[in-house]
Structures are given as structure tokens and as C-alpha cells.
């Protein structure tokens, strides 16, 4: 591939540079407490989950240009461009233009990679319009500009585009595979994608049937998200599970994306969005299922890195959804009101594996056994329905992963990826 239109000629690689591929695993809305919850349920307090296998760790610093806790779109902008961005940014700066990256160019790390002939992919368990992935390839004035985001995604030429959001691909009222379109401009982005050389798939089976040399692939696996981000009570009323069983999991999408991109240098950005959305709903059961899926996907990525050590794997979030924490139960009297009322003495809502219809916790969560074979009961206490900036960490494995240490600012994602992909630190041109 030559240069991307409008970006100028590709830069030569330094002949002595050590370069490799990059997998960015953005598990949205997760902090240390989320991963502690996941470990307790999946492996027990003494066990290890895939997240624990990442050997390099740093405390993540995530403030935006104008606020301590960023929006998801601002966080993604800072990851993709390596500079601080305002809260409303979606691949834009305060003036509404693509930000000036450390190279002095107005292009994201993904667009820089494309300009140098590197294959790229975006994978999301939510809608294709989710900023954690979409910002790497699009720039729009407003986060809710779904029509324009999808238009730019298809025009980006990314080799792999996996996610939901069918409603943004089809004209309003047109029946699709998952529901009716909602585009008001009359465009059929599925047809446009096919005309641009994309093979379009809609199901797990169609995705796994893709040949290794499948060319460009667009996977549309849900009308909006592959999950149902509601409270436990609403899901029970509607008879819904947290995730759509018919849609591929994040691990399955990651596995196929790596098969399609492998054998060449690539940049793959993957996001589990359910961790964020269920956290903001204060749905602990949904959050734990999202964490299980995210950890399963991390296992796929880690296995790839172990076989291809010239690959960097970085995982982090940009904020903490709901700011949960874990309270282990000891059976003491002071815990009785906590379970019966479903609130801590300070008013914080308490969540268990089951709730009483009239309020309170019917059944606490139970951990997997510890090394002594004992399981432990616990509840989840929620601090907010908003995003917080608490205990977020970045973890990494593979090429250049040792640079993730101490503290790690959100603007450090871009230069780390740049050095891994191109063999040198970014310099202003």
C-alpha cells in the first residue's frame, strides 16, 4: 500500500530499526477493582486470570485538556493522537480539526500506520460508532454523528472492521440482518463497502468461514451493541441475557482478526464496551460477564504475542465506570442491614448475584475457591453511575512492553505505538 490520500508520501523505515505489530486492548471503564472482581469469580483470590499474565504494569494517568475525568471520545482521541484533547473531542482538537500529533501531522497513529503500508483493524463488542475504536480512523464534530462516523469508517480502508451498529449502515426503514436502518441521508453503506472491496459478514458462522486471505472484511454483528446494557431488573423484566448469544464474542472476533491480519505488520485496536456500559448501569452481573469476555479476549491476544514476540500488547481503560469495589462478607451483624437494605450505611448501593424484588441482596456473589479450597461471599458496592478517574492501570506484554512502568499518561500510548511500528520515536516534521 502506498500513501493514504491527503497524507503525503510514506516515510522510510530506519534500516536498523526493530519494528513489530501492535494490539491495543481497550477494556473500557475498568479499574483495578473491576479486575479484582473478575479474578475472584473466575480464578479465586489466589488464582490468576489472563490479565495477570501481562508482566509490565503502570498506574494510568488519564486527565483531558479541560477535565480530570475524560469522556470515552476524548480518551480515545488522546490515545490515538498522543496529545491532550477537550472533553467533547472525537478525533478533534478545540477548533474541531484532527489534532496535531507529535509528528506535527494531523493524523492518528492508525492513519500514520496506513500511510506506511501497515495493515489495520478495529474490533468492538459495541456499535461500530463507539469512540474507543472509531476515533482511530474518524474525526467528527459530535459523538452522536453515527451516520458520518460509519461513512468515514468504510472510507478508511481498514482491512478489518468488526462490531455492531447495523442501523448506521442502512437507509431509514430498510430491513437488514439485525433490524431496520436509521440513516437519514439515504445512503446504503453496506453496498458502498462491498463496492470498495469489503466482504460483509453478519454472524459468528460467516465470520469463522472467512478465508485467511479474505481481503478487506466488514463484520456487522448487531443492530446496535452485542450486549443489552440495562440494569438487572430491566433485563429480568424483558427476559434478556446480558449478551446476545448469537453474536460472536470479543475473543472470537479477536481470533479471526488476528488470523486475517497475521503474517504482516499490523495495528489492531480492540474494545470491550460492555464493561463500561454495564458499569454505568451499576449492573454487577453484567459487568462480571463483560469482564469474563474481556479476559478471554486478552488470552487470545496473549497467546498470539507468545508465538509472535515482535508484537506489543497494551491494555488499559480511559476511566472507571461506576467506580465499584468489593466487600467480602464475614457474617457479622453490621453486614445484615447491608444485605437486607441493599445499601451501605453511607447510602452506596450494594449489588449481589441476585436481588430481592422488594430491595436488598438475595444472594451474594461467591468466589471460586482459594488455595485452601474455601469459597468466599462478597458484594459489589457502587460509588456512582458516572465515570471516575480512580485506580486505572496500564499493562503490557511483548515488544517494548518494558516502557510501561511507573506512571503512564494517556498521551504515552501514541509514542509507544509509534516506536513499535516504526522503530523510532516520533519527531515533529
Q: Longest C-alpha distance within the chain, in Å? A: 70
Q: Are strands 354-355 and 361-363 parallel, antiparallel or unpaired?
A: antiparallel
pLDDT at site 341: 87
pLDDT at site 17: 65
CA distance 317 to 60: 8
CA distance 217 to 148: 20
**Cα 156-162-163 angle, rounded to 5 deg:** 110
Interhelix angle 413-422/72-81, rounded to 10 degrees, is: 40
Predicted structure pTM score: 0.94
Q: Does an H or E element contain 84, and which?
A: none
Query: In the chain, what are the domain boundaries?
Result: 21-327+393-422, 330-381
pLDDT at site 240: 96
pLDDT at site 390: 82
pLDDT at site 272: 98
Would you say the C-alpha torsion 268, 273, 274, 276 has a positive or negative sign?
Answer: positive
| Contact status, residue 394 vs residue 414, Cβ threshold 8 Å | no
CA distance 269 to 242: 23
Ranges of residues in the chain with a pLDDT under 70 are 1-17, 214, 334, 429
Return the C-alpha cell found at 106.
494531523
CA distance 272 to 274: 6
Listed in sequence order, the residues at least 6 apart from 408 whose beta carbon sits closer than 8 Å to its beta carbon are: 58, 59, 60, 61, 316, 394
Return the C-alpha cell found at 166.
447495523
pLDDT at site 362: 85
Give the homologous superfamily in CATH for domain 21-327+393-422. Answer: Alkaline Phosphatase, subunit A (3.40.720.10)
Amino acid at each position: 500500500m502506498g500513501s493514504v490520500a491527503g497524507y503525503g508520501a510514506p516515510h522510510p523505515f530506519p534500516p536498523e530499526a526493530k519494528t513489530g505489530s501492535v494490539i491495543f486492548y481497550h477494556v473500557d471503564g475498568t479499574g483495578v477493582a473491576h479486575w479484582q472482581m473478575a479474578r475472584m469469580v473466575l480464578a479465586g483470590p489466589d488464582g490468576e486470570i489472563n490479565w495477570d499474565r501481562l508482566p509490565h504494569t503502570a498506574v494510568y494517568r488519564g486527565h483531558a485538556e479541560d477535565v480530570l475525568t475524560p469522556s470515552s471520545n476524548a480518551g480515545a482521541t488522546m490515545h490515538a493522537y498522543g496529545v491532550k484533547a477537550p472533553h467533547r473531542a472525537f478525533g478533534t482538537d478545540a477548533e474541531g480539526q484532527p489534532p496535531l500529533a507529535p509528528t506535527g501531522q494531523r493524523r492518528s497513529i492508525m492513519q500514520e500506520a496506513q500511510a506506511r503500508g501497515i495493515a489495520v483493524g478495529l474490533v468492538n463488542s459495541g456499535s461500530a460508532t463507539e469512540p474507543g475504536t472509531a476515533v482511530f480512523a474518524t474525526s467528527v464534530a459530535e459523538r452522536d454523528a453515527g451516520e458520518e462516523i460509519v461513512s468515514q469508517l468504510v472510507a478508511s480502508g481498514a482491512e478489518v472492521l468488526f462490531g455492531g451498529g447495523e442501523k448506521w449502515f442502512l437507509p431509514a426503514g430498510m430491513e437488514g440482518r439485525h433490524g431496520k436502518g436509521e440513516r437519514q441521508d439515504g445512503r446504503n453503506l453496506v453496498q458502498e463497502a462491498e463496492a470498495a472491496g469489503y466482504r460483509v459478514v453478519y454472524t459468528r458462522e460467516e465470520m469463522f468461514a472467512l478465508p485467511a486471505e479474505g481481503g478487506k472484511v466488514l463484520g456487522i454483528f448487531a443492530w446496535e451493541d452485542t450486549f443489552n446494557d440495562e440494569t438487572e431488573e430491566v433485563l429480568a423484566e424483558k427476559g434478556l441475557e446480558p449478551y446476545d448469544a448469537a453474536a460472536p464474542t470479543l475473543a472470537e472476533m479477536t481470533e479471526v482478526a488476528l488470523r486475517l491480519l497475521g503474517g504482516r505488520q499490523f495495528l489492531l485496536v480492540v474494545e470491550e464496551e460492555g464493561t463500561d456500559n454495564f458499569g454505568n448501569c451499576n449492573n454487577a452481573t453484567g459487568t462480571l460477564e463483560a469482564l469474563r469476555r474481556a479476559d478471554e479476549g486478552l488470552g487470545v491476544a496473549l497467546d498470539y504475542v507468545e508465538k509472535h514476540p515482535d508484537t506489543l500488547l497494551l491494555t488499559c481503560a480511559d476511566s472507571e465506570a461506576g467506580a465499584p469495589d468489593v466487600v467480602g462478607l464475614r457474617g457479622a451483624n453490621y453486614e445484615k442491614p447491608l444485605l437486607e437494605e441493599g445499601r451501605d450505611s453511607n447510602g452506596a448501593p450494594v449489588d449481589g448475584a441476585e436481588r430481592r424484588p422488594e430491595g436488598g441482596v438475595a444472594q451474594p456473589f461467591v468466589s471460586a475457591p482459594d488455595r485452601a479450597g474455601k469459597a468466599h461471599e462478597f458484594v459489589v458496592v457502587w460509588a456512582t453511575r458516572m465515570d471516575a478517574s480512580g485506580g486505572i492501570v496500564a499493562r503490557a506484554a511483548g515488544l517494548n512492553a518494558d516502557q510501561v512502568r511507573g506512571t503512564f499518561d494517556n498521551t504515552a500510548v501514541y509514542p509507544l505505538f509509534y516506536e513499535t511500528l516504526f522503530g523510532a520515536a516520533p519527531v515533529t516534521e
